[in-house]
Structure 1
Amino acid sequence: MREMEVYTDAVDYLETQQIPVGGVGEPGPGLLEEDVFPEVFQEGTETFFLSRLQTHSIDLPETPVLCTQEAMLDRRLMVLRTILDSEKIYLNELETLLMPMKALKASAGTSKPVLSSQHVQTVFYQVPELRDLHRDFYTRLRERMGPQTDLESDSGPGPEQNLEQEEGREAELKGLQLNVGDLFLKIVSQLGVYRGFIDNYANAVEIVRRCTQADQRFRTLAESMMSCNGSDTSKTKYTFEALLYKPLDRVTKTTLVLHDLLKHTPEEHLDHAVLQEALRLSRSFLSGLNEGSQCKREVTLSRGMPRQLMRDGFVVDMCDGARNLRHLFLYTDLLLCTKLKGGGQGKQAQYRFCWDLPLAGLKLNRGPEMDHNTETSHRILSLRARMYEQRQSTKLCSQRSILARCIERSRKKMEQLELSYLTLSPLLPLELHSPSGKSHTLVMSSLYELEEWREAIQKLTRDNIETVPPDLLTLTNSCVKLRMTQQPPLQSLQPEGVSCLCGRLSVVVHSACGLQHPASVYVCVEVDGFEFYESRAQTHSSVIGVCPHWDQEFSFQVDGATNLRLVCELQPEGVGCDDRLLGKTTMKLDPAVLQKRWKRQTLVLGQVEVTLSLKYSPHPLDPPSLASIQQQPIFCMPIEVVAQQEGVLVPHLVRCCVEEVERRGLKEVGIYRISAATSDITNLKTAFNTSLREAVSKLRCVEVNAVSGILKLYFRELPEPLIPTELFQNFAKALDIPDLNSRNVSMLSLLQCCPRVNQNTFLFLLHHLKRVSERQEENKMSLMNLATVFGPSLLRPSAAVQGEYSPPVDISQEVVVQVQVVYSYLQCENLPEAQTWLTHDAETTEEDTAL
């Protein structure tokens, strides 16, 4: 029984290292891992809130199995390196613990000692011996692995291609010759040193706690002990008590480490028998320890703070490309990731440990939004279609008063599909990096939820103090009673009869105010309900200022929507910096309040107030398309067609490029005159023709001359120029008017003859070029320079003017007209403002409402 418990601990440890386990109760080759919930892959069982799932419903990656000798030796080498790195960190921690011993001994002989000589001896009892034991083990293990490590580092660009196979054979040979079993057998045979430390541990901790409360000098020391984190230069701040616990935590993991190493050592290896004996001795030693002792269970965090559960919820854990639905628990001092087991009829729900990360020194990074590959995109579209069909089937069953058992079966099928979709669809990563080198990535579908997790974790990571590690098995087992979230966020599990939206919800994000400093910000809009259609949209980043404007309209097909979420984020100017949350809020969607006409409202998001308009049109929903929604191309398309597709008066490409140039290109010498790399412009063109969101992301990364170049290319490739060709002669005649005022009146009058989209896009561009020229002392681009660059792209003579029956046209004179028309408008002081969006205020039924 005891060996089975130790084996269970070992399995959990191996899984935290992303090492596959092929033991009792684990899937073998060709079987699927229990990645979502274990019971969903077992026929005839049900979880406490989900129906059973067949294996075809969630096609998760198969568990890799190491069967070849080469694969086992590669994994063995990785395990040995992990052990070596762990030993180095442990030695640094022991050195940090021993650092104040000499000073404390010296002060013991003074009139005002910090600790008495007897207390110093008790606190540091057996610690120097443990340090010496592990220093010898680390030094010898590093010497043994030296040639192997050097060989591995030679895999860079130095060797030629024809030597790679020989080096591979040499690496395998040295892997068989690398014998370290005697080192592990030696250190295990000396584990008796830990017996004295463990027996003395409670007394040492008691002295540390008592002196921390009584003596300010010792308190300062006990709460600010720094240790290096392995090979990097970063340091972690420990409490004295946390460092005292390190040896106790270390010795209890000896069996797990040996089991890990033995598992990946081939039977024909000379180390195999030696490691088996070391594992036997380790288990024998640990069996004599009372793992349920009070010193391990009664844990108090730094400054007497008790460990509490702050937040929990279901997230997708991304590991080696595989997506696993996990239940994440945020405690006061650590993150605990678990897998739910059991909970079927007559069974008690249990949680299985996956991994943990201490909050001390934990760094969070919001990675770039991911993309689904073609296969996953097809699966998601298929899941949406199947969910829609199942939803309609459930409605039909309810309307016809069919047996409750049939309705329940239909709902369970819906839960099954939603669970699959919940695992596959998220694209927003939150990366977690621990000072110890451990990293994990959580993927979420909601930016609102991601920011809630990030905010909750960051509040607890401000004090970089590592606390006493918990008993992970006990803590994991207690999750059933402590959990605040009982089930995944599945729409089919929501109560019936709640007033919700079904139809089309239109949202226009107008503007924001309340910024303390000029910044570039954007707003993300999310709706809940069944995931048949896209439920999240995002504005473009605004021009840097204190009153950002977007005026972007989004249309959502919704079924079961009850909440609208808004997230406002600041886009940093530095490369590699995370977007910073300015505020977020949730708005209830009541179909009785929302109307078919636009309703304008102002929502408060922290320090920012966002103005938006809403319109709701209830109607039966069409089935979601099985084909991917392909964005219509933007380049070489009439500008009025593009604007109509986007529901704006100035195409998004023009606005995005202008805003990006004004964000970081106003000081660029020769902006709009100096060309960028052709490859960058080609990549941007492809992105704008396929995915506007991807294109906007790329705009932030490329050099600013590529941004200006793609804008010029867009106008140059319009099938019809921005200023209609039939007005070319009229503009040429207007330029001949000698009186400046009369000429300006005529030019503005001609501008009114342009189509609405062309007129507003031209005005938007003109105001931008004037702002560029205001910085001409830095960028060297005057109004005339800008007119020279843009004139030939914005205005061209009609074919009739260039026809064979017309008098010949002087090309140089034609260019003069093109440049002078744009230059005249740039000099105009009473140039009208551009309208970038379609007006919604005409239909607004209510005044602005602050919520």
Structure 2
Amino acid sequence: MGTGAATLGMEEAAEFPGEPAPRMELGSVRAMERELERCRRHLRRLQRALAEERFKVLYLEAALARAPPRPPALPRRRPPPASLWGGAETRNAWCPCPHVAYLLPGCSPPSSLLLADFNYGAEDYDAEGNEEPKALPEGSETMPYIDESPTMSPQLSARGQESGDAPCCVAQGERDAGKGLEMRKLVLSGFLASEEIYINQLEALLLPMKPLKATATTSQPVLTLQQIETIFYKIQDIYEIHKEFYDNLCPKVQQWDSNITMGHLFQKLASQLGVYKAFVDNYKIALETAEKCSHSNNQFQKISEVSVAGIMLWALLYKPIDRVTRSTLVLHDLLKHTPSDHPDYPLLQDALRISQNFLSSINEDIDPRRTAVTTPKGETRQLIKDGFLVELSEGSRKLRHVFLFTDVLLCAKLKKTAVGKHQQYDCKWYVPLADLVFPSPEESEHCPQVHVIPDHELEDMKMKISAIKSEVQKEKANKGQSRAIERLKKKMFENEFWLLLNSPAIPFRIHNRNGKSYLFLLSSDYERSEWREAIQKLQKKDLQAFVLSSVELQVLTGSCFKLRTVHNIPVTSNKDDDESPGLYGFLHVIVHSAKGFKQSANLYCTLEVDSFGYFVSKAKTRVFRDTTEPQWNEEFEIELEGSQSLRILCYEKCYDKTKLNKDNNEIVDKIMGKGQIQLDPQAVQTKNWHMDVIEMNGIKVEFSMKFTSRDMSLKRTPSKKQTGVFGVKISVVTKRERSKVPYIVRQCIEEVEKRGIEEVGIYRISGVATDIQALKAVFDANNKDILVMLSDMDINAIAGTLKLYFRELPEPLLTDRLYPAFMEGIALSDPAAKENCMMHLLRSLPDPNLITFLFLLEHLKRVAEKEPINKMSLHNLATVFGPTLLRPSEGESKGHLTLASDIWSHDVMAQVQVLLYYLQHPPISFTELKRNTLYFSTDV
């Protein structure tokens, strides 16, 4: 024992130079065994702690090594604002890396990061109206915070603005081709900023790779090399592709020149899309591996919680595809503003072709194992039609996704799944088409009358949705808490979902001859007819009855997710900014006559238009009795709210009271034909009636239509007197009054806000013409009795006077010079480029025009806040004021248009959209706008 102890002491002394070796007082073999076991346990704990500390050191070293300084030519990123982090302590934890900011131990990423990709879309509904947001895990320590706000944009000189020159996109005297090339710069500037955000996300994903690989070769690896390769497959390649693209494009936009070429960069980027394909193909395996490793390894679980939840792994299946979609939109805009003889044009065309083909291949690339579904006859079962329908089940409305295959109708709902899990459908029921029948009114079993929500309740819900959207914008503008924003978003989705569930009221019943009946509710008889005809067409084939086994049903249901053609719930307010807004105003339709009927019948027509995301019936002709050639000649005025299509259905009236629909006790009329036309703004917005014919099942219906708005007679005539205010330049009036906003504008707005802000239809309902003219004369004469007269005048006359003042300005408030640029800016597809352009154009306005516009803008927003009472939404106000503030003077209009006869209708909807864009934008500060601290400069 003594010799052993002495030997041990010598060996330990070598491990502790200059210090006494640990002493062990061991009196027996049993005591030695107990001490040995204790030391082993202690050593294992120390080894685990050492491994964790080693991993942290490697992780942080890799983070710092991956953050080399930017080349001097690129501007330095600013740190996040203090309000984002909350206080000095967390602000000091920020590390100034070019693309990723880190939180030191003890700090969690802000909730805005964790919810960055939260979306109440088709992927998240449970079809029962009980929507719940996907709860994301709390942020773990040492995880990167992705800076989603682009601070990099080409900082170009503003000398054109300072010298009073016209802005780049409307430089006076430039050719159209030159204007297009300047607009191209705006598109590239916004795209470059979003490209930076994408590189941020890729860098954040790459950061754990190096420390994970380093630990893989130790005795206690976090992941094996094979697991690391699977999880991070192709991320490095994607990052390098975009980093090279970014570094090559940035200097070109910084040193902008009209002759500069960059089409080859986009062409090269498109040619490397095969890397994305490999990434997408591997995604499912990568996600499964990451989940498996996080369950079996606590260390990896800590660093994978945020990534699997929606920032790194979960979102990256969609973010690369979204990136290609964004690039495709940008390519469209670039081609639009690139002359066909420019060297870049063929290169951009080729890049667009490659990108579109890639997107198509991704959409059509369906796993054969999931679609190898055959019918009982051995034929491939194909999806013919699918869509979202409301089912009335046990007295409750349920949103279902209905799939019509070649031999079966399947009703499903999307199951709730954990974050990162593959989305799946749950089959509620199916009916083989061989067993499916449409019961006649006499055969339908009686069911309680369908409860129809009153129209005013539906309208109230639409207004609530608009109000919540405004609140979300305010919260974002004020940098409110992300939890508050997410609560608002959830509430908005619940309201939209309620509207979708409760709007439909037209019954569509199907019956399984071997089982029960099912009842759907639709908003359009046209849609009901489409489903019925599609099913009946398939039933003409030789179909066999069958029963699906549980395995067959599982495979068929599993194929629905990949095969579906309708991906998003058709909620009313989910339209993207870059989608066509449709027509707003009034469509006048005259239904003349119809011919082609083989037998005499009692005939009538109905008209449907799409409104708030779904079709509704708007008008109905009288019944023309016992004829084969009805002559209705009836005119209807249909209000359009973002409408894009007009449908006409022709019915035979049934007077047999024995044929009652048991669902709603209405007599069932027979559809003789139906047809649909697109409402092309260029075709319908003319002064004259446009005659057209819709052919339907051998029947021809003749009709005429024209679209009108309140702005068709706008005309600007400068005043011959310069002593008044009407017809006088706004700069002259403000200089004479020594004010920033004309007195007439301030007084009219003050009076409206004092006693007219809750007036129903304020600014829409016209005042008495003689009252408006009297007020005009008083303001022109600068009469001392103006205030007394205003207090006694009808509020609609005061509102009309304000509109008249802006309408009679010799030049629109937003100026003739900038008009073409506003039209081009609002048409941009890329949101970042649009923001860049629209804010720059405001800065380009003369100060009196800009200050007056911002003053009016805030007033209109306050009016819209009272929408539940005054019924004037932001869009209604934009419809009233948009053309008034933007419509070019007559001389300018003729210069911009090809046909003088089209002056009254040209760009009316675009003018509305320009004002609506600013009304929906967070508050705009004159000081910040002029200082150019919030918006990118685009001057040369």
Q: Which of structures 1 and 2 has the larger relative contact order (alpha carbons within 8 angstroms, sep 6+)? A: 2
Instruction: Name the TM-score, length of structure 2 as normaliser.
Output: 0.32
